[in-house]
A and B are shown apart, each in its own frame.
Chain A
Amino acid sequence: MEPLTWFGAYGSSFGPLLLVLATLAITCGLCAALLAFIDNTPRASFSLFNGVAVLLLLLVGFTYVYGGLTGAEGGAMPLSTLGWMLGTLAALAVFAAMLAWFLDNFFDNPAAFMGILFKWAIYGVGAVVVLWLVVTLLWQGAAHKEWLAGFDAADMPPAEEIARHRYISRLESLGILANVAIRFTPVWIALVVLYGVSIRYKRRLGLYGKLFDSVIGMIGFGLVMFWVFTALFVGVFDMIATHAALEQASGMKNKLPGTPLMRAGPEEFPFYLLGGDNLARDIFSRMVYGSTIVIQIAPLATLFAFMVGITLGLPAGYYSGKLDTALSFLANLILAFPVILLFYLLVTPEIVQTGLPQYMAMVLFLFPLVFMGVLIQSRFRTQPQKNVIWIAVVLIPLFLLYAAAINDGGPDSKIRFWPLDFFDIPPGILVVFVAVVFVNSPTVFRIVRGLVMDIQTRDYVAAAQTRGERPWYIMLWEILPNARGPLIVDFCLRIGYTTILLGTLGFFGLGLPPESPDWGTTINEGRKLLSIYPHPALPPAFALLSLVLGLNLLADGLREESLKD
């Protein structure tokens, strides 16, 4: 079998065109950004991080495209090429800067002009990609037909062989990119349905609906939902991935993208789409599996951090005084500690042995219970019956979950008093979780505290006080809902940080086990051989970058939209 090429059978006709358009897009985009920066127009508010992330994404994509066009064997791409590409990009940037300066002298609004050019170049890239996909998909059987024609009617190969050949020649003519795109089919469908429904009913969907008025927000939301759906389809239905996360295939160690398997079983996918890592596992599948871990931990850990931060930040801001001084001091103390050091401390075996993470989990996991309890109690204070029902309905399941979560049947476990311990959190994940919640909650605390101090001066708070509402009702029902705008935005950003943090942790070999497919760990594994084989580290890096970028754009979009109205 031949290795897969990036663009498949028709790549040579579309590749150069794509390259030209992409170069144009990058130049114009850079140019517009620079001009906007010079003029200090609102476009420059596009944050530095997002700019860098976009550039990196472009760089990685560009490198692959270039590698695909020049490399004789699939994605051959030594590091020198990468360096060369970086150089080219730098040259493009300088060129863009000069162009920007030049245009600034001769045009009235060069940034807008460049922006339009950028837009059209991007449209061009899109059009070429669509055209290429259509052509590739329509004529994917051509090679197979040719092969069949080479046989006489008499000595036709057996039917299985024909079927197998048809299958493989299709994959070959599609190329790596189209195959990857096709693997994600369920995700595309889900995204199209979600966007269709959301845009149709956007006027009725509040802030979520308004997101679809902002291009930035839509792009960000799309990127985020892409990975959420991926995690869902991989985690629940086991779709998308071509191989198992830990499966090793002989002879596939560090193989380049598109390499065929040596002895593929009849049911097996016969290629490693994005190559193999240093333990001969499929990089593409590992990246896809990694999403489930990231998508599970990051939002949940952030949610817990918010519960802790809100439950403590509300009274600190509301009562101020001594309570505030004490809590703020504590928060600053935690914040003053270097995060990585804290993590090292928390995951040291000796510390884990003492059961500290478990005890911390015991405290930190209690906050959602407290939060929900107070929320209900304050609301239905005057209606005892409803109060009891609600508390029972919400708190009993929560308590069961809580008890099961902090109890652990493992041999080193310090807490195991609960008979109904129906699930265990893997110790590595628990440590990571606790650590992430612990370092994030002080910041949330400070934001909430500041918001409360501001909102507290409003007349509706005074009105609640004068009709004799209790402090917790005022905090939770009068103040908190009106602080939601900034909190939602911060939530998005914080999921991003948490994702990076998880990556960093994995990168330092902290927390999750070394074979875990999560992105941080895989990037770290790939990093070791980066100078010889860059390809194992790039896909998870690309994934992480796109998710965080998506979250940032989403937060930007939400902020922008919540300011309108």
Chain B
Amino acid sequence: MPKIHDYDGPILEIDKLSISFFTRLHEIPAVMDFSVKVSPGEAVGLVGESGCGKSTVALGVMRDLGKNGRIVGGSVKFKGRDMAALSDAELRNLRGNEIAMIYQEPMASLNPAMRIGKQLMEVPMIHEGLSEHESYQRALEVVTDVKLPDPERILRSYPHQLSGGQQQRIVIAMALMSKPSLLILDEPTTALDVTVEAAVVELVKDLGKKYGTSMLFISHNLGLVLETCDRICVMYSGEAVERGDIETVFNNMQHPYTQALFRSIPLPGADKNSRPLVAIPGNFPLPHERPPGCNFGPRCDYFQAGLCDQDDITMKDVDGDGLHETRCLRFRDIDWNAPITLAQTKTKGEIGRVVLKMDNLKKYYEVAANALFGGGEKRVVKANETLSFEARESETLAIVGESGCGKSTFAKVLMGLETATDGEILLDGKNIEQIPIDKRDTKTVADIQMVFQNPFDTLNPSMAVGSQIMRALDIFGIGKNDAERRTRMLELLDLVKLPREFADRMPRQLSGGQKQRVGIARAFAGGARIVVADEPVSALDVSVQAAVTDLLMEIQRNEKTTLLFISHDLSIVRYLSDRVMVMYLGHVVELGSTDEVFSPPYHPYTEALLSAVPIADTHVTKKHIVLEGDIPSAMNPPSGCPFQTRCGWKSRVPGNLCEEEVPPVRQLKPGHQIKCHLSDEELANMEPVIKFGQEAAE
């Protein structure tokens, strides 16, 4: 099929697009009055919280809204042609040939039963009628382009034989097979680890330049958008609220929501006392419960009754040149440079005595080498290798690492769901590493509790919120009867700042952040002294993350809790933790105070992690480190240093040391240890990864 050539206007023009979903009870306006233009070769970012309509816009462009979705207003023009006027056949041709879409979940776009090569070759064979040979050549070319090793082998394999990162690269390759003029990426890296994400983002950027493809990049991560896009469009509750060049919007924002978003994410440049996180109050309105006037009104600091809650608000031009627009009535009255007013300065609790001590903890799993017949040879998976650290009262110890690094295993052993293979865990000087949870006394169980990652999974959907907390109280032996437990439960709801009425609500009636608060209340039901928080905010929206993080820290201050904060997000780790432990493939590769870990000398893996985390600050320049390949599987770890397959510093170590010997743990300073063969001079000469403002300008 021919493509539309000789067109030099904008590739995509969305004009006042409105999309609604129709349910039995009501019409749900998911997108309202949304306009954006994508010029050739340009990347436009679409950011906003979950539920604000980002994906709906993408599906609307693809005209793939399902049974109950409908475009109720506005138009979408692709290369000047109105998509509404196209026939089904023309639309089909457009999709896949001129517009390609990449989804969050790579497996959703791949056929599990078909070889990669065949899936890739299908695209040009169907759309352009290329011969099999030509298609194969094209497939080989794009697979090489997406930087996959050994392209011919990849083409012969099935999707499940590849890792998540590789699958996502194949999806990108597939999208590029037809050389589309527009690529829509819907959260393409959310399912990936940070270092892998960094590599994929890098790839997308390069390919965009190479093929001249325009991109619509959907993400909730401001940092990622800054790294990839030329222009940005911020969405809130179905509307675009601010639109403009990325630099302009980041440095000179003109909408209170954009400002609130930036204030709620931790930026590396700022320290937690001078620039505390400010959570956006309240909750995201449901589409059919939007307030009159400005949608952001109820959560806006600059809200003016009688003005903001009247008529629908339209986009206003900021500078008169049509390049920067905002949907705020008061943007001229607001002093955008006013410093953040601090509610109160909080002093961190005194760090007390050692509560928890791990000494040479090891956890190995024995798995059958042959899954089908069970017996015979056994293989050992070393999920945790010689973990040693101490955690003190009122201290926050962050455990950082990507998937498969052994964080969850470590938590399981600590909680008593698994017993340790070797080593010791001392709780108040008592050994608990060999006591499974049903043998532990109630006090020990209540002392170590956990906050889980996925808010939608953390509460039993069939039990009222209050009953779940009361069950925990009951199990921990608190309160003599139900009445006492109920009182205590209500106090716990107060503690996590939830209204008491929530006791009788079912979990599905709560938002993600509220559920997470209930999860926290439940963890503290037995007066926990050690709380393991497994990525407690990573599944929440940015605007809610800050509030939940704050809550955790506040409870910690009052209760003198030891917080083991598991995360892969280094920004938040830097913001709230006292000490940081970096893990890779079951090994602790670096351990030290937050300042020590975040400034050179780094362990090479820490350095790569720091560089991979996207930062939403235009004043920051990062040293650019892209790791090759994926994280090896713990079933089949590399010899010598666990990080040697991806390490960029390996060549600086004489001989084959990195491949032959597991590096020893070295004390750089008292309390700061790394596991690396690099010599002291090499370490001393390391440069900081992140540079700010003037530093960077030099």
Task: Convert B468-486 into 0s and 1s, putting 1 for each residue whose CB lies closer than 8 angstroms to a CB of A.
Answer: 0000101111000000000
B276 at the interface (CB under 8 A from A): no
Q: Which residues of B contact A481 (CB under 8 A)?
A: 460, 462-463
Stretch at the interface among B219-227, B444-452, B547-555, B679-687: B444-452
Q: Which residues of B contact A470 (CB under 8 A)?
A: 438
Question: Given A467-B475, A565-B508: A462 and B438 within 8 A (CB)?
Answer: no
Q: Which residues of A contact B437 (CB under 8 A)?
A: 465-466, 468
CA distance A383 to B437 in the complex (A): 20
B457 at the interface (CB under 8 A from A): yes
B24 at the interface (CB under 8 A from A): yes
A350 at the interface (CB under 8 A from B): no
CA distance A315 to B186 in the complex (A): 41
Partner of B458, one of A213, A383, A460: A460
Interface pair B24/A460, CB less than 8 Å apart: no
B281 at the interface (CB under 8 A from A): no
How far apart are B527's CB and chain A's nearest CB, in angstroms? 13
Q: Which residues of A contact B477 (CB under 8 A)?
A: 382
How far apart are A385's CB and chain B's nearest CB, in angstroms? 10
How far apart are A407's CB and chain B's nearest CB, in angstroms? 38
Interface pair B472/A467, CB less than 8 Å apart: yes
A267 at the interface (CB under 8 A from B): no
Q: Which residues of A contact B458 (CB under 8 A)?
A: 459-460, 463
Interface pair A463/B452, CB less than 8 Å apart: yes
Partner of A383, one of B442, B448, B474, B522: B474
Interface pair A213/B24, CB less than 8 Å apart: yes
- Residue of A42, A460, A464, A469 contacting most chain B CB atoms (<10 Å): A460
B465 at the interface (CB under 8 A from A): no
How far apart are B411's CB and chain A's nearest CB, in angstroms? 9
B106 at the interface (CB under 8 A from A): no
Q: Which residues of B contact A466 (CB under 8 A)?
A: 415, 417, 437, 445, 448-450
CA distance A459 to B417 in the complex (A): 13
A421 at the interface (CB under 8 A from B): no
A484 at the interface (CB under 8 A from B): yes
A contact face: mostly helix, strand, loop, or mixed: helix
Task: Convert A398-435 into 0s and 1s, putting 1 for each residue whose CB lies closer than 8 angstroms to a CB of B.
Answer: 00000000000000000000000000000000000000
CA distance A44 to B472 in the complex (A): 47
A482 at the interface (CB under 8 A from B): yes
Within 8 A of B (CB), among A441-495: 458-460, 462-470, 477-478, 481-482, 484
How far apart are B37's CB and chain A's nearest CB, in angstroms? 33
Q: Which residues of A contact B449 (CB under 8 A)?
A: 466-467
Q: Which residues of A contact B3 (CB under 8 A)?
A: none
Partner of B457, one of A42, A383, A460, A484: A460
CA distance A481 to B450 in the complex (A): 23
How far apart are B180's CB and chain A's nearest CB, in angstroms? 28
CA distance A481 to B472 in the complex (A): 18
Q: Which residues of B contact A484 (CB under 8 A)?
A: 462
Q: Which residues of A contact B457 (CB under 8 A)?
A: 458-460
B459 at the interface (CB under 8 A from A): yes
How far apart are B365's CB and chain A's nearest CB, in angstroms? 15
Q: Which residues of B contact A463 (CB under 8 A)?
A: 450, 452, 458, 519, 522
B440 at the interface (CB under 8 A from A): yes
Interface pair A465/B508, CB less than 8 Å apart: no
Q: Which residues of A contact B459 (CB under 8 A)?
A: 460
CA distance A481 to B417 in the complex (A): 23
CA distance A465 to B452 in the complex (A): 12
How far apart are B177's CB and chain A's nearest CB, in angstroms? 28
CA distance A435 to B648 in the complex (A): 69
Question: Given A463-B522, A467-B445: A482 and B460 within 8 A (CB)?
Answer: yes
CA distance A62 to B445 in the complex (A): 70
5 further A-B contacts with Cβ under 8 Å, apart from A463-B519, A466-B449, are A213-B24, A459-B457, A463-B522, A466-B448, A467-B445
Q: Considering the complex of A and B, which 4 residue pairs feature the smallest CB-CB distances, nearest first?
A: A481-B462, A459-B452, A459-B457, A468-B445
What are 15 residue pairs bridging A and B, where the CB atoms are less than 8 Å apart in the complex?
A: A459-B454, A460-B458, A462-B417, A462-B450, A463-B452, A465-B417, A466-B415, A466-B448, A466-B450, A467-B446, A467-B522, A467-B526, A468-B437, A468-B442, A468-B475
